[in-house]
Structure formats: C-alpha cells, structure tokens
Structure 1
Amino acid sequence: MQAEPRPKKLLDQVRDAVRLKHYSYRTEQTYVQWIRRFILFHNKRHPQEMGVPEIEAFLTHLAVQEHVAASTQNQALSALLFLYRHVLQLPLDERIDAIRAKSSRKLPTVLTSEEVRAVIQHMSGVHRLIVQLLYGSGLRLREAMQLRIKDLDFPQSQIVVRDAKGQESRLTMLPNSVQMPLKEHLQQVKHTHQQDLNLGYGAVTLPFALARKYPNANRQWVWQFVFPASTRCKDPRSGAIVRFHLHESGLQKAVKRAVRQAGIQKRVGCHTFRHSFATHLLENGYDIRTIQELLGHKDVKTTMIYTHVLNRGGRGVRSPLDR
C-alpha cells in the first residue's frame, strides 16, 4: 500500500503561492524571510495558531526594539498579510494596530550635469553603459539589469520597460549617444550566446509561465538579457542551467569607486542617476506629467518631489543676501 505524500512545509507553500501570483523571485525571498522571522519571534508557533495580536507584537518589536524604517515595517506587514490571505486562507478581520515606525521624508540626492559626466568618465565597459542608461533613460537599477534584447527599439530610439514596479510596463527614451556603444556591446553578447548554444546551453529564465507556453523561447536571441552575467548558474526555481543578468552589487561598487575618483562629496548610489534624470528634465522645461510617465510613477505626487530639489536654492526662493 502506497503511503500518502507528506504535506508541504509552510514556507514551501508560501513559495508556491508567490509563484502562482507571478511575483518576482526577490519578492519570494523577502516574503519567506519575513514569515520565518515572524515564526521564530513567537518561539516557532505555527501561524495558524496566531493572529492579529501576534502580528501587532512582531511589528511593534520591529519599530521599537529594532528601529526599522517605515518601509521595512510595511514590507514585513505585506508578507504576513500575504501569508494569512493567500496561504492559510485566514483573512484578518480585525484592524492591525501596531506601533508604526516613523516615516521620514528625505529629499533625493541629485547630481549636476557636470558631476554626472565626471562619474561616467571614471567608468568603463559594461558598467559605464548601464550608468548611461540609468541617467539617460531614467531606469531603476533592477529595470536596467532585466532588460532583454526585444526591449530595445533602436529605429524609434525607445526602450520598453516591461513588468516594472507594480507589474506595469512603460516606454522611455533610448539616448542617441549610447546607441552605437550599445550595439557594439550586443555583438559581444550575441557571440557569447552562440557559444552557449554550441555547448548545449544558451537558456535564460522567462517571466511568468512563458517557459511552458513556448518551450524553446528561452534560447532565442530576443529573450536574452542585454547585460548577461559572465558565468552560467542554476535557476533556483527550475533547476536548469541558465545565464542570468549581471548582479547589481558589481555596478554599485563601480559607481562608488567612480564617485570617489571624481571627488564628489555627495552620497551617491545607482538610484541617484534616476533622480538626476528627472530633475534635469524639469530644469529643461519638460512638464511634470511627461516626466511622471517616463519614470513610471502611479501618482504625480511622487514625481512632484523633484520640484523641491531643482538647482534654485531652498524651494526656488531667491535669498535676500543675493539682491
């Protein structure tokens, strides 16, 4: 008599539910991490035995003892709500009334055009190319890394940013000045891809369920990453040997090094170039709605923050000392 299969562990059920919703692998990792921390915080009690009071205690602990940022606390709350709604099928009817982490409103760091050029001049190779796209197209770091060949439209000088933040797509510009070096880079990428195919590899991960719908698409040129990793690795979800895109950490280190070499005394990260993109467009007279669409912001209020960091002093007011 065949034994009944053992029920899946809770965290494996979470992974299955996340994949069913077509969330990214990064979201999957984040949710699993927060749910694990929640269980350990309550001495390994099963979440089915717990509810709103235990969630409130955990979120309050994050704010009071661990002093996490408001966005971090919200991330933990989202993971726990997902667990109860989509995995345990136990909707939480009561209001979650935890002590909330204090949210801070920080103005983004913005570089001048001269500072952007100085940083780029101290970079080379593929990292220089990516930074040019972050600034020239207003891409988020993750969006640039996940670009595929089919997303680049050279004839119309535009980039299709697919499944960006909030699972929405948008169009942005492909700067003319970067098109030639980008085409030369793609020739090298195509050569590497052909070598992979000759060795029996050449696959990439595909979004959602496209791998099942189009079994051979993962080896086609148009689906390859624009900025592929230097080595092949195992896909953590399917177990297949694939070539992922470059890891963000390499670019982050290259940017820090270039900023230091350029002698810029500002706290600069990869996202700074996106902030600078938006601010410089405003300075050049483009309207806020156009910039909102290029950035992919749902609410124009998010875009409005760049009106406060224009290079005109505090809130654009002229100092009486300068009369």
Structure 2
Amino acid sequence: MQEKINKAGEAPVYLRIIKDRKPKYISISLRVKPQDWNSDLSKVKKSHPNMGRVNAFIATKVAEAEGVALDLQRESKFVSPVQIKNTIMGQSSESFLKYFDRHLHTLEKTGKISTLAKATSVYTKLKEFLGTSDLLFDEVTVSFLKQYEVHLRDELGNAVNTIHANLKIFRKLINDAIREDLFPIARDPFRKFKLKLEKTTKTYLSEDELEALWILPLKEGTKLWHHRNVFVFASYVGGLRISDLLQLKWGNFSGTHIRTTMQKTSDVVAVKVPSRGLEILHLYQQDSNGPSDYIFPFLRADVDYTDPKALHRVISSATAYANKNVKIIVKRAGIEKHVSFHSSRHTFATRALTKGVGIEAVSKLMGHRSINTTQIYAKIVNAKLDEAMDAFN
C-alpha cells in the first residue's frame, strides 16, 4: 500500500511485481485506511468493516497476476515486469520480432536487396536464439541486449564489429518505432546500452604499389587482366564501388566524365576521368559499342537484370571473384598487404587527399553521407605527413 491519502483518509492498494530486481506497481482499484492495513501480511486487519470480502478480493488479484506471469514466461524467455503489468491491465506491447519482419518486407518492396540480405541474416540469428518465443518491444531491455551480446560473442563467435552491425539494426528499429509512437523514448534501451566498435585498418596502395600493379604483365583478355584494370580504374576514378563499376555502360561516359547513380546510396555522381582512367577505357572501346553496352565485360548484355534480387546475386558472385583475383594480382606484384577490391576505394581517397584535393570534394566524389566518414582518410594522410617529418629528426 502506497501512502497517497485522499480526503476520506484512505490510501490506494497496489500490486507490486518484482522481476530482475525491477519493481512495477499496478493499481487494483482499492483504497484502505492505513490503520486498517497489515503491511506484514499484505491484508486488511479485522478492524476493516469488510475484512473477509476485501482480503478475498486481494487474494484473487494476486492469483490473477501470478497466473499471467506464469503464462507469459512459458511463451517467452524475456518477460519484463512492464509486460506483466501491461497484460494484467489489458495492454499489449508490440512484437519487436513482427516489426522486424515487416521491416524486411519493406526492404524487399523498395528493392534494397543488399540491405535486405544483411538484415535477414541478423533476423535469422535472433529467431534461432529465441526458439519458439516471441520478443516484444518491452522485452528489448538493457539486460536482454547484454545477454544477446554475450550469445553473439561466446556462442556464435562473432567479432566486435559484427556484433555492432547486428545490434545497430536493433537500434534502428527501436528508433523507427519511437518515431511511429509504438514505443516510448523513455524506455529506449540504447540510451544506456552503448554499442562497441573496434577501429579497423583501411588497406590502401601507395603510388608506387599502384604503379607496380598497373605495369604487372598479365595476359590480355583474362579475368586477372580485367580485374586489374578495373581495380586501377577505381583507384583513379573516384573510388567507385565494384557494384557501380560492374553496371557502368558507355552511356554513362560523356567522353570526359563518368556520370552514374550509386547503387548503395542512390546519389548521382559525376567524376572527371583522369588520363590513366581514359587509357583504361580506351582498352575497351570499340566502334560497335552502344550506350546500353557495359563498359567492363562482367555483366551480359543479353540478360535482364531488372529483378533486384537477381542483380544482387550476380553482383555478389562477381565481387567474390574480383576479390579472389585481386589477392592473386597483388601477390604477383610483390605487394605484401591484405588487399580486397574495396581497397581501391581507400586508395583513391588517400591519394586524392595527399594530392591536395579538398576533403569536401573527396567526400562528394565518394558519395559519403557524412564528411565524418571522409575524415578517417584525412587522419591517415596526416599520419603519413607526420612520418615524413620524422625524417628531419
């Protein structure tokens, strides 16, 4: 019984639910004078005029609450006191799992297949962890996130940045639900639970290493030859992602600029092609080339790629092949670095900043949503300058 005395000298009686040391109170629509309440037994005393009926009423409410709690715990591993309270009060929390599933359907409908593939992987892991249980928004607590983080790390062996990527999707869904008034901002667990992220080394090639790659003797027309050409092209032409390079058509080339819509961000970018890039394009130019023909010979002109899922599968396969060949080429060139095709993007950024291109321009060329992303490369360049100055010591 909590002491909120009304004019009649009566205080309300509350049912207290404690789970994981967190209490929640439910009003049972009963008021009792403090002198008639036995706090040790949680009953009214004999002095209460309706002692028998009131104590029976209290016992019924306690039994109902215990029944609800047991039913919920059978349905889910992560019952919170809030959820027990809501169920008793006839209020139901939105299902986080169903909300997640709707998010996947939205990604599919909007053609965001790459994002869908990543989110589906996260959803599948969560479903396997839950088993047959549902997961409600009220159950996505700091305690749950810590428990799930341990599962990802210890049971599945996920690295820190993989766990970050998984839980980042959880955070996005929570934020979306808050914006839709499905979840109160006051209960946002990510206000207290902080995502962990480890710094990763961005591998890039120096000018000498890039040149060594370019002059490496390779048989013309082989996949190794094509992959080397495209890697060097990306390192000179804005650090274009392989997903965009694969889809480049001659209609995207004006004679001086490559103009295309980036698949990942849908941003339109126009990059002036420097002499080395023009040299590479010249290797692929033929009189028979039409605007709808692909510049690089990885996608087939006679295949319809309008289905986003089919396109994603082809690009994923082609990217894996390119990554495999880039490692072979780099090793043949005598470069001892762990390089993937994406390293061409890092190579462009560091080269551009080293040559004095403004950070805002580099950010725009690379399609970064935030200049903070480009700042990472600026730090790399600054570190290289500091090393150069150490030669004067």
The TM-score normalised by the length of structure 1 is 0.68
CA displacement, residues 171-206 of structure 1 (integer Å, 9 cap, x when unaligned): 223233333543553649959xxxxxxxxxxxxxxx
Q: Of 189, 212, 218, which residue of structure 2 is paired with 1:118?
A: 212
Identity of aligned residues (%): 20
Q: Of 123, 139, 144, which residue of structure 1 is paired with 2:245?
A: 144
The answer to whether 1:287 aligns with 2:358 is yes
**Aligned residues of 1:68 and 1:101 also touching (Cα < 8 A):** no
Shift of 1:266: 1.9
The answer to whether 1:46 aligns with 2:134 is yes
CA displacement, residues 236-280 of structure 1 (integer Å, 9 cap, x when unaligned): 958989995571011111110011111112222222222222222
**Aligned residues of 1:159 and 1:171 also touching (Cα < 8 A):** yes
Aligned length: 280
- Structure 1 pair 278/82, CA: closer, same or farther in 2 (3 Å)? closer
Distance 2:127 2:161 in 1: 21
Shift of 1:58: 2.4
Give the number of the structure with larger relative contact order, counting CA–CA contacts within 8 Å between residues 6 or more apart.
1
- The corresponding residue for 1:209 is none
- Structure 1 pair 317/242, CA: closer, same or farther in 2 (3 Å)? closer
Matched AA of 1:229? L
CA displacement, residues 257-314 of structure 1 (integer Å, 9 cap, x when unaligned): 0111111122222222222222222222222222222222233332223233338747
User: Match of 1:310, SS?
Assistant: helix
Matched AA of 1:57? Q
The answer to whether 1:96 aligns with 2:167 is no
Distance 2:188 2:138 in 1: 15
Asked which structure has the greater CA Rg, the reply is: 2
User: Match of 2:351, SS?
Assistant: helix
Correspondences of 1:14-33 after superposition (within 5 Å): 14-20=103-109, 22-33=110-121
- Structure 1 pair 46/227, CA: closer, same or farther in 2 (3 Å)? farther
Correspondences of 1:93-242 after superposition (within 5 Å): 93=184, 94-97=187-190, 102-122=196-216, 123=218, 124-137=224-237, 138-154=239-255, 157-179=256-278, 181-182=280-281, 185=284, 187=286, 222=292, 226-229=296-299
The runs of 5 or more residues in structure 1 that have no matched partner are: 1-9, 192-220
User: Match of 2:292, SS?
Assistant: helix
- Structure 1 pair 237/46, CA: closer, same or farther in 2 (3 Å)? farther
Shift of 1:40: 0.9
The runs of 5 or more residues in structure 2 that have no matched partner are: 1-97, 219-223
Range moving further from structure 2, 77-86 or 284-293:
77-86
Distance 2:323 2:161 in 1: 21
Distance 2:123 2:146 in 1: 14
- Structure 1 pair 101/241, CA: closer, same or farther in 2 (3 Å)? closer
- The corresponding residue for 1:77 is 167
**Aligned residues of 1:310 and 1:316 also touching (Cα < 8 A):** no
Distance 2:311 2:364 in 1: 37
**Aligned residues of 1:171 and 1:294 also touching (Cα < 8 A):** yes
Pairwise CA RMSD = 4.0
**Aligned residues of 1:160 and 1:170 also touching (Cα < 8 A):** yes
Distance 1:241 1:270 in 2: 19
**Aligned residues of 1:279 and 1:309 also touching (Cα < 8 A):** yes
The structure in which a higher percent of residues are strand is: 2
Distance 2:195 2:165 in 1: 12
The TM-score normalised by the length of structure 2 is 0.58
User: Match of 1:153, SS?
Assistant: coil
